Amino acid sequence: MSKKIYKLKSDKPKINFKIDYAGELNDEQYKVIKNAEGPCLVLAGAGSGKTRTLVYRLAYLLEQGVKPKNILLMTFTNKAAREMIWRTEKLLGFKPKGLWAGTFHHIGNRILRQYIKHLSYNSNYSIIDNEDAKNLLKEIIRNKKGYKNFPKANVIKNIISFSINSGKNIETVFTEKFSYLDTELIEPIKNINNIYKNRKKEADLLDYDDLLFLWLKLLKKFPDVKKYLSNKFQYILVDEYQDTNHIQANIVEYLATTHKNILVVGDDAQSIYSFRAADISNILTFPKKFTDTQIFKLKTNYRSTPEILELANNSIKNNINQFPKKLSSVIDSGEKPILIPTQNNEQQAEFISQKIIELTKERYDLKDIAVLFRADFHALELELELNKKSIPYIKRGGIKFFEQAHLKDVISFLKIIYNPKDEIAWTRILNLQKGIGRIGSQKIISAIKNLELNKIITIKNQFPASLKKSWQELLKILIPLEETDKNNIGALLDIVLKQFYINFVNLNFENSPKRLEDIEQLINFTHNYDSLKKFLSDTTLTEDFQAERVTPTAANPEDYLILSTIHQAKGLEWKTVFVINLTSGQFPHAKSIEFEKEIEEERRLFYVACTRAKKFLYLTYPLINYSQTYGFIFSKPSEFLQELDGNLYSEWQLENDSVSEDTIEYLPEV
């Protein structure tokens, strides 16, 4: 069968382009701009000018005479859409009125406002945010009898949402993602979901998932609507296609039915969001779904040195399921990435903080330095060390380790052991217990005021009947805590976890495995302390650090070191990047090692982390870790380090005393 080429009409007058496309773009980008007719897949490597290419392609179409109303640009954030439109306007010198541009949810809302009556909804529906959706689910759960020990609304919402966006039924989602919950919950949750859908429809409400789900349903069930929209959108541009989920990929496929001028931009090597239902198969199978797909590769990197890219290329080539490509740099040659094994997590933290101080002395701003990690708890020791050295930092997209709710919960138990008069800690603990509200909490605190813990646990009959059962349940935790060595912090936390908090987390948080892993690592970390007083002192200082330490220099009040998970760092860049805790079982995560699909996503995470660095890349890992269960254990370097060509990095060996107390430097206080 001959290849069908979709071209602009040849009877158009010759165009005098305002923009010098050939002069302003590299050859790879220019080919996309000029030749991207029909189905096109643009594989845009890290730092290769993805946004620039999309903006220039959009401008090119408009200069060709394509009407703005016939172009659809879909992005994942409103910010990305606004930036692309602004840059296009700046290029053209005019505003393309009528352009369809925005997030999938934004475009879905615009279309549903016109056509939702086909689905027996009113067009004046209201959109509810996630908080409103959870409140509606809370009401449904509260009104159903027999649902006393039931997951919280946010957990139910997460299960329903993942099911919708992944295109999988609730049974499958339970097996794959929520196996820690009782399977007997499946039928009740399906029942709640049905009630939730009916309640929304009765009240003319749509949640964010509905904007996609109903849009797809509209395209599937009403051929006339699909035909109109696919005729209307002569050109479709999609950003970050590797992050699309099941619904989004299907929507794109339906909309491109008529003209097939569908251009998707993405990088399979940076697909790292499967936990949000993103499906890498959407980008990998794109050429199969759209016959005669043209594949363009943007391989010229404008961010990193050749040495950093060589290491990143060497790592990602080990993935089997990918479009192979090798990035090349336009930056001058620099230093090789550096691998630093450290004795333990404490030395790792000391080395990094010391190196950061050295970099600031070499006139690097803190904001040009980032420390990246696989999981929040990997930076636990580092956060404490940064506090000690007065190095200000911000944590992107998250709360500092000890400020997270689940950690403050368990540490509150330690606080009342150390100081039974701590009313704030008591209030937090009592609010976690079923059957104890604000007034009940006040009554209990009043009754136990000024008593030692050994006296508090003997109280049995001083509370109203409504509180007695809840108090007895709490005593199941307090009594063994009181009987345990107060300075055996790991044992104390283990009691809280096993007697109460595991079940509490599973029923109350949608990401309970991550939170429980944080607490397990906190327990491991406590082996550094033989004093509860010292432990609480250090963690409290961490909480208060931001208020006490503002900046290292009054001249630059916005200069902060960046700490970030790799997921939060995608799309960003820094001159210097530290990637830490690169040990087997930590990065890659232990649960991923046996499964090809999961280990490949972990390797993509490593690739993303390395390609954030512009000039310096430091890879660190501790040789010894501590486990509450097994004691001190030797760590193997990450599988991703082991598979690297040893010629692509330099290795530093730290002396045992190289970061001793005598050699530690501190940033001056303001």
Catalytic residues: 50-51, 239-240, 270, 612
Residue 329 β-bridge partners = 301
The answer to whether 352 and 382 have CB atoms below 8 angstroms apart is yes
Question: Can you tell me the distance from the alpha carbon of 136 to that of 324, in angstroms, rounded to the nearest whole number?
Answer: 47
Residue showing tokens 């990918």: 322
- Give Cβ neighbours of residue 592 (< 8 Å, ≥ 6 apart): 598, 599, 601, 602
Q: Per the structure block, which two tokens stand in for 283?
A: 């980008």
| DSSP class of 631 | E
Question: Can you tell me the distance from the alpha carbon of 314 to that of 317, in angstroms, rounded to the nearest whole number?
Answer: 6
Dihedral of CA 578/580/582/585: which sign? Answer: negative
Q: Select from 163, 141, 161, 165 the least CA-distant residue to 152.
A: 141
Angle (nearest 5°) at CA 567 between 561 and 569 = 35
23-28, long-range: CB < 8 A, 24+ apart: 24/56, 25/52, 25/53, 25/56, 26/300, 28/296, 28/297, 28/298, 28/299, 28/300
- Give Cβ neighbours of residue 119 (< 8 Å, ≥ 6 apart): 214, 217, 218, 221
The answer to whether 123 and 116 have CB atoms below 8 angstroms apart is yes
299 HSE (CA, 13 A, CB side) = 12
Question: Residue 53: how many CB atoms within 10 A of its CB?
Answer: 25
Question: Can you tell me the distance from the alpha carbon of 76 to that of 78, in angstroms, rounded to the nearest whole number?
Answer: 7
CA distances from 339 to 142, 342, 617, 624 (A): 54, 10, 9, 16
Question: Can you tell me the distance from the alpha carbon of 472 to that of 460, in angstroms, rounded to the nearest whole number?
Answer: 8
Residue 616 β-bridge partners = 576
- Main-chain dihedrals φ then ψ at residue 231, nearest 5 degrees: -70, -40
Rounded to 10°, the helix 130-143/153-166 angle is 120
CA distances from 152 to 149, 508, 593 (A): 9, 5, 31
Question: Can you tell me the distance from the alpha carbon of 588 to that of 8, in angstroms, rounded to the nearest whole number?
Answer: 48
